[in-house]
Structure 1
Amino acid sequence: MPVHPLPARDAAADDRLLADFAELSAIGATPAGGVERQAATPEDGATRSWLARWLADRGFTVVADRVGNQFGLLELVPDAPYVLAGSHLDSQPRGGRFDGAYGVLAAAHAADRLRAGLAAAGRTPRYNVAVVNWFNEEGSRFEPSMMGSAVFTGLMPPETALGTTDVAGTTVADALTAIGALGERDVFGAGAPHTVAGYVEIHIEQGRELDKSGTTLGLVHRTWAANKYQISVLGEQAHTGATAIADRRDALYGAALAVVALRDLADRYGEELHTSCGRLTVLPNSPVVVPREVRMHLDLRSPSDALLAEADAALRATFAEIEVKADVRIERHVAHTWTGQDYPPAGVALAREVARDLGVSFMPVQTRAGHDSTNLKNAVPTVMLFIPSVEGISHAEAEFTADADLCRGLDVLTETLARMVEGALDRA
């Protein structure tokens, strides 16, 4: 039976969520309705401070670990493990205000509703609750993405994360120190004071399936595979006017062929393969100089590991042809990869049960994008939930999710969290 720490449709709770979301969205706001709060910038720091005040005012203990993951600890059972709920507050440049931030704020509201409901009922759960804001999920300033949760789950050494630099040469450690967000020790895990019993995350879909079908909730059961690369196209610097075309080793020409090759791959495989290219750095970037080098980020994603491997091999073959045609050399370095993987079936089943009990329409969905839950799901019992994104727009100022979906998502998250702290996934 539903636990219902608060009634499923509580108008006052909805109003509080929306008011807080509007206040949060004002930090780093852009003229067209988005936000810009890249990881460990002053705007990100202001957002983290806002969350810390919100949590502290409601009795949470706010701490950061040694790679900047921010936690709001709510101890309900002394010495018991914690169920984590959250997402991320950092954004893309001129990003949307819903991506990540909704999941953190919804987790904070769900935990606070749960605390109040348990106190009113005189109940003691099995586990504690912690709200989490993962550091650098977006990977726009510091690569790779999902950095904080990767360190948390042992997929990346903390020293690697802290030594990573942005394009200006600032390290993660220095950037976190500058905004007062660098903790001194781990908060969870071996040798740390706390342990984890589970994780739940709610996020906008960043796709069109829920919006197209008029469905309220997505039950994430699988993630697409992804290969992300840094490549360098190496040519030779020369004069744009004096150097004969036949004599040029134009790195930008080679890079342009690589961009077209990526799109041709996507067209060849249809919706089973997504490709992209971003962050081109052209050297020396002078109007009268043939570029000697172009550095760029490539991204291939697919629901099929086999198809991704096939497309990757095809791209490597095309690169060899580009090297001959443009008289350049292409160096490729792996930035971040993961295979297609299922989410824990018990977590999907729990989310389905909650949706049915609350009368919420739902459907199974795959996530094309990476999320912090992508890392957590292999470490602890995990639930991943989606709410609709209008027209699937994301990583853009036009990103939008309706108020009703934000509020209904909070209801589902609260009930899911309530069941998890009662041990619903203990045998997962």
Structure 2
Amino acid sequence: MTEHDFLTDFRAMSVYGRTAGGGVDRQAGTVADHETRAWFAGWLESNGFDVRYDAIANQFGLVELVPGAPYVLVGSHLDSQPLAGRFDGAYGVLAGAHAAREVARRVREGELEATCNLAVVNWFNEEGSRFAPSMMGSSVLTGKLALDAALAVTDRAGVTVADAIASGGMPTGATPPPVAAYAEIHVEQGRGLERSGTTIGLVDGTWAASKYRMVVRGEQSHTGSTVMADRKDALFGAALLIVAARELTEELPEGMLHSSVSELDLAPNSPVTVARLVELNLDLRSPDEEVLRRANALLEQRIAEIEQRARVVVERRLTHEWGLLSYQPEGVELARRAAEALGLTHAPAMTVAGHDSTNMKDVVPTVMLFVPSVDGVSHNEAELTRDEDCVAGVALLTEVLAGLAAGELGSETAFTPAG
């Protein structure tokens, strides 16, 4: 592998779903997503990988090195948010493919003794922008989400996941390989590495999070003639909720709480009608479980105040919740040694965002790595990771994958994927 190889391939892949602003838009199961997958399948096949798709359309490129042995999985996702950057997910998929190709070469030429096979993976619908929930492919593979339930999910136009997958014409239904370990590299999506002048983030844990689906119920009425005191405006209540979520981050210790509100659905969404219903997502994230507990308690207080002030009813349903979750220390140490050997600056890091590795670490030893994001920009067409950082990440991932393939984290038992 050379710098030119990876960067040339990455630029070629970034053509698919390209936007006028220099990013990509290839939401799961769309034409752009299918085209990117087809390009990647061609790359895999031309480099000696056996391409397969499981029932939820996770795309695998397999290399058998030790007949009958389990596989070390490496990858990320090619799907994107709307008007997104080129690097989120896609960098990790292609980096994993280049790393796996190089490790396979070492094994075949006698430079490395492997105890495991290799498989590159492009997870289906990691982003969750078109179909909820996010991290769908890895959730199905790890048994956290039933396949039938995932396939039945619809987008806003009523298209099911099953139909979106079928529209790509890929031969799904292959059995995923048994997995001994997993590795993923990703752009940081924050400013920590860039600010500190560090090339590699060694991810050792995740922030805690609480995610809600909120429904604000009011009463439909006329925007002009209804007396203000009589209004039960669901949109006003939602606006107060949005402000309250942001203000929580100012009430609690600085930098210790991230909050957001997204995906608003409004009914009846008429220009002359006071809203009767607003649905939205609200999430709270913190690197401190006590801070998150306080944020949830404060949110409950704010909801009661909003209901009284706006004369609405606010319903909330907890959709996802987790505490601080750790990655296997031995995986972090493996990556640290590899970074040291390559002379790459490195530091421990936590992930605020969800990644497929957060599912995989619950079932197999998992290594998660970050490379810097310029200005911390992500889910935006301006997203950028510098060429030298991209290449350094590929080099490190290659050494980590070599260690995993050689059984450095143990491969005596393997996880058998669901479905």
Determine if contact 1:144/1:335 at 8 Å carries over to the other structure: no
Counterpart secondary structure, 1:296: strand
2:391 corresponds to 1:402: no
Q: Which residue of 1 aligns with 2:370?
A: 386
Conserved? CA contact 1:76–1:124, under 8 Å:
no
CA distance in 2, matches of 1:125, 1:392: 37
Alpha-carbon displacement from aligned partner over 1:42-68 (angstroms, at most 9, x marks no partner): 111111111111101111111111111
| Matched residue, 2:416 | none
Partner in structure 1 of residue 260 of structure 2: 276
User: Are 1:32 and 2:21 an aligned pair?
Assistant: yes
Secondary structure of the residue aligned to 2:255 is helix
Which residue of structure 1 aligns with residue 12 of structure 2? 23
Aligned to 1:221: 204
Residue 368 (structure 1) aligned to one of 352, 358, 371 = 352
- Between the aligned partners of 1:123 and 1:332, the Cα distance in structure 2 is 54
Aligned to 2:279: 295
Q: Which aligned pairs between 1:43-62 and structure 2 lie closer than 5 A?
A: 43-62=32-51
User: How far apart are residue 285 of structure 1 and its match?
Assistant: 1.1
Q: Which residue of 2 aligns with 1:319?
A: 303
1:99 equivalent among 85, 88, 101: 88
Deviations along 1:66-99, one digit per CA (max 9) or x if unpaired, are: 1111111111111110000000111111111100
CA distance in 1, matches of 2:318, 2:28: 22
2:10–2:91 Cα contact (<8 Å) kept: yes
Shift of 1:140: 0.9
Q: What amino acid is aligned across from residue 184 of structure 2 in structure 1?
A: E
Report SS of the residue matched to 1:121. Answer: coil
Match of 1:260 among 243, 247, 250: 243
Contact 1:344 1:377 in 2 (8 A): yes
The answer to whether the 8 Å contact 1:77/1:128 transfers is yes
Q: Is 2:67 aligned against 1:78?
A: yes
For residues 274 and 335 of structure 1, what CA distance do their matches in structure 2 show? 17
User: Judging changes above 3 Å, is the alpha-carbon distance between structure 1 residues 427 and 117 closer, same or farther for their aligned structure 2 residues?
Assistant: closer
CA 1:76–1:313: 2 relative to 1, 3 Å: same
Counterpart for residue 239 of structure 1? 222
Note the C-alpha offset of 1:181. 4.2
Gaps of 5+ in 1: 1-9, 188-193
Q: Secondary structure at the match of 1:276?
A: strand
Q: Is the Cα–Cα contact under 8 Å of residues 256 and 286 in structure 2 kept in the other structure?
A: yes
Code of the residue aligned with 2:208 in structure 1: it is A
What is the match of residue 6 of structure 1?
Answer: none
Corresponding residue pairs, total: 411
Q: Deviations 1:16-59 (Å, cap 9, x if unpaired)?
A: 10011111111111111111111111111111111111101111
Q: Give me the whole-angstrom Cα distance separating, in 2, the residues matched to 1:310 and 1:28.
A: 42
Aligned mates of 1:186, 1:277 — CA distance in 2: 38
Q: Give the TM-score of the pair, scaled to structure 2.
A: 0.96
- How far residue 172 of structure 1 moved from its aligned partner, in angstroms, is 1.1
Aligned equivalents of 1:182 and 1:274: distance in 2?
41
**Structure 2 residue 144 is the aligned partner of structure 1 residue 160:** no
- Measured against aligned partners, the alpha-carbon deviations of 1:76-133 in whole angstroms (never above 9, x if no partner) come to 1111100000001111111111000000000011111112222233655111000001
| Residue matched to 1:196 | 179
Which residue of structure 1 aligns with residue 102 of structure 2?
A: 113
Task: Give the match's secondary structure for 1:373.
Answer: helix
Matched, 1:175 2:175: no
Compared CA separation, residues 353 and 124, structure 1 to 2 (3 A): closer
> 4+ residue runs of structure 1 moved beyond 4 angstroms?
none
**In 2, are the aligned partners of 1:281 and 1:295 still within 8 Å (CA)?**
yes
SS in 1 for 2:40: helix
CA distance in 1, matches of 2:295, 2:62: 44
Aligned ranges for residues 127-142 of structure 1 at < 5 Å? 127-142=116-131
Aligned counterpart, 1:7: none
Amino acid in structure 2 at the alignment position of 1:138: E
Q: CA RMSD in A?
A: 1.4
Structure 1 stretch displaced more, 371-380 or 123-132: 123-132
List gaps (5 residues or longer) in structure 2: 413-419
Q: Given the alignment of the two structures, is residue 67 of structure 1 paired with residue 51 of structure 2, yes or no?
A: no
> SS state of the match for residue 271, structure 1?
coil
One-letter amino acid of the structure 2 residue matched with residue 149 of structure 1:
S
Asked whether 1:145 is paired with 2:145, we answer no
Which residue identity does 1:301 align to in structure 2? R
User: How does the TM-score come out when normalised to structure 1?
Assistant: 0.94
* Residue pairs, 1:334-345, within 5 angstroms: 334-345=318-329
Q: Quote the Cα distance in structure 2 between the aligned partners of 1:59 and 1:20.
A: 16
Q: Is the 8 A contact 2:70 2:411 kept in 1?
A: no
Moved more, 32-41 or 176-185: 176-185
Counterpart-to-counterpart distance in 2, 1:123 and 1:145: 37
User: Distance in 1 between the 2:173 and 2:214 partners?
Assistant: 35
- Name the CA distance, whole Å, in 2 between partners of 1:179 and 1:338: 34
Render the CA deviation track for 1:354-377: whole Å, top value 9, x for unaligned: 011111110001111111101111
